[in-house]
Amino acid sequence: MSQKSSTSRRRFLKTASAAGAGLILPYHFSAAPSLAFDTGSANDKVNIGLIGAGGMGGGNINAAKKWLNLVAIADADSQRAEKMKAGLGKGKSDVYTDYRKILERDDINVIHVATPDHWHTKPLIEAMYAGKDVYCEKPLTLTIDEGKLIRKVQEETGRVVQVGTQQRSTFDKFVKAMALVKEGRLGKIKKIQVAIGGAPSSPALPVVDVPEELDWDRWLGPAPKVDFRSLVREKGRPQTNGHYEFRWWYEYSGGKLTDWGAHHVDIAIWALELNGQNTQPLSIEGTSKHPVEYKDGMPVQTDRYNTATEFNFNVKFPEGAEVVIRHDTSNGVLIEGDKGRIFVSRGALKGKPVEDLESNPLPEGAIQAVYKGFTPVQNERRAHWANFLHCVNEKKEPISDVHSHMRMLNICHLAGICARLGRKLEWDGKTETIKGDDQANAMLARPYRAGYEIEMGTPAKVGS
C-alpha cells in the first residue's frame, strides 16, 4: 500500500468513528448509535476490489457504498461485471476476468469475495497471502478441510476476515436473542431447533450453448469440468447449473444445509458458546430426501439438481444439548433452556423471556457484551460492514470470524455427508475427523481441478 493510500484509509476510519457517525464506533462506545451518517470526501473512502459481481456482491457493496470506493471488479461473466461497473463502479472501475489481477494491486487493501461457494476458499486464501483484509460471503467453504486451511492461513497472516453471516449484526433480533442467552434468561440450553426450509428439485436440464458473455471454464474453476445446462421457465429465473442455481448442486454448494444453514446453525452454535457449553458435536444422524438417486455418496444422475430437498437431523453435544436441523417448520431458531425458551427469525423475536424485558430490561452493555464490544446499528448489512471496517482499522477480530464460523459450518458439512451416505456419523473434535468411517472421511475434502489449485504463498507483513 502506498503511504498516501494508507494515510487516507486510516483518516477515513478514524474520522468516521470519532465523528459519531453511528457506524464505525470505538469498542468502548456504549451509547445507542445514530443512523445519520456521512463519510464526507471521496478521498476518505476505502479502495475495494470485488470478486464476484452477482446479487450478493452488488447488494453488499451498495449497503456500504458510503465508505467504499469500488475500483476493481472480477467476474467470469463479463455482462455482470460491466453492469456493476456502470452502476456501483460509476463507470470507473477496472474490470478483470482473472481476479488475481486485483490481488496484485497495491492500491487495494480490502477485498470482497462474493462468488459461488466453490470459489470462496481459493481467492480468500490468496488474498490473505497478498496482504488483503477480506469480507467473504458465506458459507466460507465447500468442505471441512478447506476450513482447516483457511484458519491456518488466517493465523499465519493475521489478516482480518469477516464472513457474510449478517444475522450476527441484526441488533433487534439475533443480537438481542444472544444477549438474553448470555444473561442467563433461558438458563442452561437443552435443545435448539433450526428450521431452514426445503430445497427445490428440477427436471432434466438440457446441455445448451454457453452464453457468449460467460467464461464457463473459469466459472467452474476448481470444480469438475462439465457441460453448461439451462432450462428457461415461463416464470422465474432459468434452472441451470450456474449462477444463482449453483446452490442446488453439491459440486458447487451444500444445498440448503450450507445456504440457510450457514445462517441459522450459526445462531444455534453462537447461543451454545454464550451459554458456556462445548460446541464440538459428538454425533449426527437423521433422515433426508434427494431428488436423484445416490450411490456411495455420489449422485447417479448428473443432469438435474442433486442436493437434499427434505431433511431432519439430530446433532448431539457433550453436555447433553442437542440441535435439530429440519426443513418442515417455520423458518427460524427455537432455543429452549431449563428456565425458558425463545424463537428468533429475521421477522420475529418472541417468548416469555422477551416479554419479561418490559419489567426486567437487559443491563447496560449487554448487547456489546455479545457483540465483542461493538455497538451494531439497525441495518444488519451496514452494521456488518461497519464492524468489518472498524476491525480492519484496529486489527481486531470481527463479529463473524473464520474460527467461530467453521465451528458451526463443520456441522452443516457433516449434515450433508450424513445425508449423502444415509448413516449416523460420530465426530472427533480434536482431530476434526469422522470416527471409524473411511468413506465419510474421504468426503472431508474434494480435489481441485488442474490449473485451479490454491496458490499458497508467503504471508505479507500485517499492516502493509
What is the C-alpha separation between 63 and 377, in angstroms, rounded?
A: 13
**Residue 26 located in a structural domain:** yes
Name the pTM for this structure: 0.91
Bridging pattern class, strands 332-337 and 341-344: antiparallel
Mean pLDDT rounded to a whole number for the chain: 91
Give every residue of the chain whose pLDDT is below 50, as ranges. Answer: 1-40, 463-464
Say what the pLDDT of residue 379 is.
86
The boundaries of the domain holding residue 51 are 3-168
Inside any domain, residue 161:
yes
* 82 belongs to a structural domain: yes
Write down the pLDDT at residue 338.
98
pLDDT of residue 6: 40
pLDDT tens profile 268-301: 999 999 999 999 999 999 999 999 999 999 999 9
Distance CA 7, CA 12 (A): 9
- SS3 string, 246-275, reads HHHCCCCCCCHHHHCHHHHHHHHHHHHHHC
Helix (H) / strand (E) element for 123: namely helix 121-129
Predicted local confidence at residue 234, as pLDDT: 87
Q: CA 249, CA 392: separation in Å to the nearest integer?
A: 34
The 10 Å Cβ neighbour count of residue 183 is 16
Does residue 382 lie within any of the structural domains?
A: no
Are the beta carbons of 111 and 103 closer than 8 angstroms? yes
- Which residue, chain included where needed, has cell 477496472? 94
Where do runs of H (alpha helix) occur along 183-240? Answer: 216-220
Residue type, 64: A
* pLDDT, position 38: 34
Task: Classify residue 60: in a domain, yes or no.
Answer: yes
Which position has the grid cell 478514524? 14
Q: What percent of the chain has pLDDT over 70?
A: 89
Q: What is the pLDDT of residues 290-341, one digit of tens each?
A: 999 999 999 999 999 999 999 999 999 999 999 999 999 999 999 999 999 9
Asked if residues 50 and 74 have their Cβ atoms less than 8 Å apart, the reply is yes
What CATH number has the domain bearing residue 15?
A: 3.40.50.720
For residue 205 the three cell numbers come to: 436440464
Tell me which residue of 378, 410, 6 sits closest to 172, measured CA to CA.
Answer: 378
Q: Specify the residue for cell string 464505525.
A: 24
User: How much is the pLDDT for 36?
Assistant: 26
Q: CB–CB of 274/369 below 8 Å?
A: no
Residue 154, in any domain of the structure: yes
Q: How many domains does the chain have?
A: 1
The answer to whether position 159 is within a domain reads yes
Alpha helices (H) along 372-447? 380-394, 402-421, 438-441
Tell me the longest C-alpha to C-alpha distance in the chain: 64
With respect to residue 39, please indicate whether it lies within any of the assigned structural domains. yes
Query: For residue 374, what pLDDT is reported?
Result: 87
